[in-house]
Amino acid sequence: MCPPQTAAVVGTGTIGLGWIALFAARGLRVRVSSTHPAAPERVAAALGLYAASMPGGPVDVRDLIARLDFPPTVEDAVTGVDVVQETAPEDLALKQELFARIAAAAPAGALLFSSTSTLLPDDLGAAVDEPGRVIVAHPFNPPHIVPLVELVTSRGTKPEVVEAAADFYRWLGKTPITLRRPVPGFVANRLQAALLRESIHLVREGVVTVDELDDVVTSSIGSRWAVVGPFRALHLAGGPGGLRHWLSHLGGGLERTWAGLGQPPSDESVHALLIEQVDASFGRQPYEDLAARRDTEQNAVLAAIAAARAAGTGPADA
Amino acid sequence: MCPPQTAAVVGTGTIGLGWIALFAARGLRVRVSSTHPAAPERVAAALGLYAASMPGGPVDVRDLIARLDFPPTVEDAVTGVDVVQETAPEDLALKQELFARIAAAAPAGALLFSSTSTLLPDDLGAAVDEPGRVIVAHPFNPPHIVPLVELVTSRGTKPEVVEAAADFYRWLGKTPITLRRPVPGFVANRLQAALLRESIHLVREGVVTVDELDDVVTSSIGSRWAVVGPFRALHLAGGPGGLRHWLSHLGGGLERTWAGLGQPPSDESVHALLIEQVDASFGRQPYEDLAARRDTEQNAVLAAIAAARAAGTGPADA
């Protein structure tokens, strides 16, 4: 792949702003397509925050802003670009129309990505001449920090386009994972929802408060899953006998454990309970401070893992 | 609390060995009670591995071994100690008998802990004169690295004993969380089971392999939950409007998402699929190498978060 030079970002919501910051920090010329009347000012203000929390360390926001253009139309924004990242609201008809215009005006070889978290690529590309060009590239918020990009292709996506898509995100410093088939909610958000369901159940049952549950997670499974995923963790929990040993001894009990997990509602009374407990704890602290702290610490975690891997820890690294 | 001087660890399985290593590294005199005929040799061999992966950096295994005694009976082991940590097999009758003997021989003020992951303190203390003395102190494996200790008390546990228990684990450098009421499986393992269920579902459905699922987790929710738990993460996902905003916009959709999550069996065919995929990936690497790498990286993550917090990231730290 030739290094990309120019990208278009369509939309300037939270996700769009994250992509703009990351693309510009990586040296791309970024065409910003926004229906917002004060888009340049809005983007410049947001980039100040993003520039301070870049994974490799703070960057000069003026360097980022100098790489942006604000063309008047979507067609102008995508003309001649290598990559398009669409981040419009989650409205299928709107996105279908956008992709029809994007595909007609962008170069035939441009990669066309949607940041959608809920829509499937077959639907997004329905109004495009070559529907398989549209690929879901779903980031985890904030996109400039969290490594994951879930790639979801459609029936017609050519293998070389899938490969070019993954190459692009690796070039960007991300961790692209291509789903083998589409599933509503993709992978990370489904896993998150599963854990959240049991979390809400335990708070609702009065076993722990939201604050205590958060502390349980950060002091155990959180830092564990930062370094090994659930299957590798299970394999190691089996000792030298590995997953085989674990499943033969404890696998039978899994169904009983699962049957005992909670199925809380997500209704007014549950919401009120959660909000009350959050307000009583960290909920009154300024959003910007909490978010900045989260981002600083997550960058520190990712850097520490990268450093530990670079240093190596034995033959398994060979 | 006066600093503890002497602890007894009953049992020398994986969890017992972890406690022995941590207690000795913290300077405690450790009485090891084991029915294993070659317990001293077994413990010495295991401590070599644990000494290399101590959170604060490697320690000299000879210093650890010099702090151990191997009394002939449980009664001898617990006489005059400050703390007893029971790590016998998960057999209720066995543990009940052990705690009756322990409570009769240990000082009246000694803290009596069980490392059980499945039994409840009311049951464990059934044969003890003062049943409320028995407290579950459930670690996450390996106990010398993962900060969490879930404390589960019984109906009769005195408030000052709960407090002394939490003080002890904080002194040890752990993060004790006292459950407000007992629940089977406690908190961390229930959350882990919830995430594992959806993970197995997605692998079974062919959306991702075990390896890809692990990569999704480590590159997104893992490093996120290392620094903020699920509720703080949700609060921040709501932007400046916080959890209130998030729930009012997306809370209604949670039930639909939950209804779409998988309910896989845990049967022979699922086990075979998981084992086959693990074998094809990391499963053939030596256990010791994989475990050492996990522990090195988890220590690096915990140290990075501690350093980031010590450095402070703005007014929210005040």
The topology (CATH level 3) of B6-178 is Rossmann fold (3.40.50)
Residue A316 scores a pLDDT above 50: no
Percent of chain A beyond pLDDT 70?
98
Q: Please give the structure tokens belonging to residue B123.
A: 């049951």
User: What local confidence, expressed as pLDDT, does residue B314 receive?
Assistant: 45
> Please, where in chain A does CATH 1.10.1040.10 lie?
189-284
> What is the layout of strands, in order, in the sheet containing B148-152?
B68-69, B29-33, B6-10, B83-86, B111-114, B134-139, B148-152, B175-178
Q: What is the ipTM of this complex?
A: 0.96
The answer to whether A306 contacts chain B (CB < 8 Å) is: no
Does pLDDT of A234 surpass 80? yes
Measured distance CA(B194)–CA(A195) in Å, rounded? 6
Within chain B, which residue ranges are assigned CATH 3.40.50.720?
6-178
Q: Select the residue of A147, A199, A315 nearest B191 (Cβ to Cβ).
A: A199
Q: Does A280 touch chain B (CB under 8 A)?
A: no
**pLDDT given for residue B1 in this prediction:** 56
What pairing do the DSSP bridges indicate for beta strands B148-152 and B134-139? antiparallel
pLDDT more than 90, % of chain A: 94
Q: Where are the alpha helices (DSSP H) in chain B?
A: 14-25, 39-52, 61-65, 74-78, 92-105, 121-124, 159-171, 188-204, 210-217, 223-227, 230-237, 242-246, 252-259, 268-279, 287-311
Q: Do B231 and A210 lie within an 8 Å CB cutoff? A: yes
- Judge contact between B217 and A230, C-beta under 8 A: yes
Distance in angstroms (rounded) separating the CA atoms of residues A21 and B277: 38
User: Start-end ranges of CATH 1.10.1040.10 in chain B?
Assistant: 188-280
Fold category of B188-280 in CATH:
N-(1-d-carboxylethyl)-l-norvaline Dehydrogenase; domain 2 (1.10.1040)
How many helices, marked H, and strands, marked E, lie in chain A? 15, 8
Do B220 and A174 form a contact (C-beta atoms < 8 A)?
A: no
Q: Say if residue A181's pLDDT is above 50.
A: yes
Q: Do B297 and A309 touch (CB under 8 A)?
A: yes
From chain B, the residues in CB contact with A117 under 8 A are none
Establish if A269 touches chain B: CB-CB under 8 angstroms.
no
pLDDT confidence bin for A190, thresholds 50/70/90: very high
Q: How many CA atoms lie within 13 A of A308 on its CB side?
A: 23
Contacts of residue A23, Cβ cutoff 8 Å, sequence gap at least 6? A7, A9, A30, A85, A172
Query: Using the beta-carbon criterion (under 8 Å), do B180 and A296 form an inter-chain contact?
Result: no
Q: What's the rounded Cα separation, in Å, for the pair B15 and B11?
A: 8
Nearest by CB: A175 against B184, B219, B233? B219
A1 band by pLDDT with thresholds 50, 70 and 90: low
Nearest chain B alpha carbon to A14: B239
Half-sphere exposure of B293 (CA within 13 A, CB side): 26
How far is A145 from B252, CA to CA, in rounded Å? Answer: 28
Q: Exposed, middle or buried by CB within 10 Å (0-12, 13-18, 19+), for B57?
A: exposed
Mean pLDDT on A79-100: 97
- Collect all residues of chain B within an 8 Å Cβ-Cβ radius of residue A193: 198, 254, 257-258, 261
Q: Which two tokens stand for residue A97?
A: 């129309």
Asked if B222 reaches chain A (Cβ–Cβ under 8 Å), the answer is yes
- Kindly report the number of other CB atoms within 10 A of residue B8's CB atom: 30
Assign B109 to helix, strand or coil.
coil
Helix (H) or strand (E) segment spanning residue B148: strand B148-152
The structure tokens listed for A12 are 């300037």
B246 interface with A at CB cutoff 8 Å? no
Nearest-CA distance B46 → chain A (Å): 13
Q: Which residue has the tokens 């040993």?
A: A245
Chain A, residues 196-215, CB within 8 A of chain B, namely: 196-199, 202-203, 205-215
Q: If you average pLDDT over residues A96-107, what whole number do you get?
A: 98
For the domain bounded by A189-284, which CATH number is listed? 1.10.1040.10
Indicate the residue type of A268: E
* Cβ-Cβ contacts under 8 Å, B225 against chain A: 217-218, 221-222, 225-226
Closest CB to A177: pick one of B183, B212, B234: B212
Question: What does the alpha-carbon distance between residue A236 and residue A239 come to, in Å, rounded to a whole number?
Answer: 5
A65 in contact with chain B, both atoms CB, cutoff 8 A = no
Q: What are the CA-CA distances from residue A200 to residues A171, A215, A271, A273 (Å)?
A: 38, 14, 10, 10
Question: What does pLDDT average to over chain A?
Answer: 95
User: Does B162 reach chain A within 8 Å, measured CB to CB?
Assistant: no
Contact pairs from chain A to chain B, CB under 8 Å = 394
Split chain B (318 residues) into runs of 10 and give each run's mean pLDDT: 91 95 97 93 93 94 97 97 97 98 98 97 96 97 96 95 98 98 97 98 98 98 97 94 94 94 97 97 93 96 96 53
Question: Residue B222's closest CA among A114, A240, A166, A188?
Answer: A188
Check pLDDT > 50 for residue A317. Answer: no
How far apart CA A315 and CA B291 sit, in angstroms, is 12
